[in-house]
Structure 1
Amino acid sequence: MCVLCGLLLNVMAVLNTGTMVDGVAAAVGREPILQSEVIEEAGAELQSLRDSGLAPGELERQADAALRRALDRLIEYKLVYREAAGKKIEIPEKQIERRVTAIRRQYPSQEAFLKALADSGRTVDTLRDEVRKQMTALLFARAKRRQFEQEVAVTEEDIRRYYEENTEQFHHGPRVRARRIFVAAGRDPESRQEARKRAEDILDRLRKGADFAQTALDESDGPEAEDAGMMGWIQGDSLVPALRDALAQLEPGQLSDIIETDFGYHILLLEERQEAGEISLEQARAEIEPLVRRQKSDERYQRWVNTLRQQADVAAGMGAGPEQIIQRFDPVARHHDLVDDMVGAQCPKR
């Protein structure tokens, strides 16, 4: 657990000052995953937590969970990239630069960003290479999920069981179904101006006929981007007021204007609006089938990733001691003094 303690101690330092003492969080074979990489991957969630006003204990608990999810994703990226290596997967430079810019915005200044890279033994070019590999893995994983979705079978019994086990989903108040494209923005004026310009370009393309779902896959920084921007059914106060109020003004099929929040810029597409009511099994069938198909394909995808993990030499710092991780590396890893950071750090018991 020592690596996780170090991660938690580093989180607020990065968010507030842009500085940190780096260390190894995990390894896939002889490839290390650095603490700075985990914090970058969890950046949007950590920034949201910083502004949440949570009590220190709850803040640490949620930061802990965010870091664990980020580490799992990075391990998955490396495993899937190994499978994708050799395949002809092209990643546009524009998408790579956009992700690098999003990482840069997690730091208070360009100088803090470059210092954090240097402290972890990286450069902007090596960061771009890491981003390219992650995006390659994501595209390969997306193709794998589509393959599994096509291969799984959804039976009548599957649909009926889902309906009976999730009856609350089919008794609802007034609700809407919408998609979102989110453009993340930092706090500084330059970052917000760049993000605003990008959001305006996206909205202009949508108004000229670009497909919203595909654009969300390609452009959105939001957590629902992998689902083509689908936010699902929304009711009550589940959204921040700015988004809820914007949806209230839309008709099905209508695009919103750009909506600004502290975290960035949002574009919404309202797909459907429903009054309070109950949905019968027959009415729900078309809605349930893709949900069950996705559930089954997700389970199959996760089994595939677990198989890759079992076949690989994976050591996660949250479940293995520092020495177990460090001994997997060649002397190059020691060049960045990561061994001293890992072995010498004494973390308090929790």
Structure 2
Amino acid sequence: MKSFTRRATPLWLFLSFLVCFGCAQKSTPRAKSSSGVVAFQVRSRPVLEGAITEYFRYAGRLRSAELLVVQPEVPGRIKRLLREVGDRVREGDLLLELESTTIEAQRNQAKALMEIGKAAWEDSEKNWKRSEALYRSQGVSETEREKTSLQRESSLRQYEQSQAAFRAAEYALSQTKVRAPFAGKITLKSCEEGEYFLPGAKPEGVYTLERDDRIFVDVDVPSTDSPLIEKGASVEVESSSGWLAGKVISKGERADPLSSSFPVRAVVDNPKGWLKPGSVAGMKVHYRGREKTLVVPLSALSEGDTLFVKEGNTVHERKVTVGLRNPEWVEILKGLKVGERAVVEGNFGLYEGALVEEIQ
């Protein structure tokens, strides 16, 4: 047993040495400089003059700016359905067509009755004018005059009724072809060709058309944030291909009784369809900002509002006065100049006058 212990001891010492050596190598932030002196490895960025805003971050619910249930306003059998789910349409594109034979016959009949009514009214108008002339010359009696006047009024009413019937038939015929009222995307198809459609029988209509080139973004804002958010405030919404700009268009005045949050809605242009209605996206709501001010990455700032300025191969600790800040940038009101280089990476453990080397 003793001989086993003596043989194992060097092995354990060797393994312990490897572990300690590996940890020491991993934690050191230093490397030899070109002169052979050990230096801190850092990354620095120039102090810039630019704009900065403070913002809140939320998860926004996306919905189409406009959604329409597409359906004809007259009953009929569906002759053709020209679009499928996922199709994009332009304003005025034909979406569906109903069988129109019966409606065309009704329209032709209404037109014929209107023409008959027009002829009857024109005849009664002539008779009335003749009767009026004869009455003035005492050629007809008062009774005959009133009779022709009543006939004229009756034929006029019948003609007007036939005109209304013809217009209704024309409108019904126009409804057998339904076109897209705006450009968008077909997101639901609820009927098939050959099916008889009765308006009101299907709440989902024939198609659902959504306009997705503009997106509403709804978010519930905590009561602590609400006073800082105003209508017209700029927003950014995150998509798979970048951030899209928009603005707040409404803010509720009453808080939800359960969550104490206020509803806020923004609108964002979505010309390339990057944002998908029905999904959730990250959202920034900007509430305060400043133009033309000194800014540095927030990672440059250390505790006590200090940072390190790189001058050549050394760094100097600098006390600064900060202003606005967000998760990425911080405004420097005092203590830095444009063009100076602030250390933004590798600043942990630095000290005044430390030797540094820029990370390439």
If each structure's helix is expressed as a fraction of its own residues, which one has the higher value?
Answer: 1
Q: TM-score range by the shorter chain?
A: under 0.3
| TM-score when normalising by structure 2 | 0.18
| TM-score when normalising by structure 1 | 0.18
If each structure's strand is expressed as a fraction of its own residues, which one has the higher value?
Answer: 2
